[in-house]
Amino acid sequence: MQNAIVLLLLIGAGAYLGFRFYQQFFAKKSSCSSCGVASEPKTNHHK
């Protein structure tokens, strides 16, 4: 059981880091192209 949870956590951690990398370098912007204001009220603060 513990091994299964560890495996899930490992997959989750790897996927999250991959997603962050993609988001940083390749994802399209979800904000207004002229001024950068997010089109959604949900914010997306940079590091």
Residues that bind another protein (CB under 8 A): 2-3, 5-6, 9-10, 12-14, 16-17, 20-21, 24-25, 29, 31-32, 34-39, 41, 43-47
Cβ of residue 21: shortest distance to another protein, in angstroms?
7
- The torsion angles phi and psi of 36, rounded to 5 degrees, stand at 85, 0
Alpha-carbon dihedral 28, 23, 18, 3, rounded to 10 degrees: -110
Cβ of residue 7: shortest distance to another protein, in angstroms?
9
Cα–Cα separations (whole angstroms), residue 25 to 13, 21, 22: 19, 6, 5
Cβ of residue 22: shortest distance to another protein, in angstroms?
11
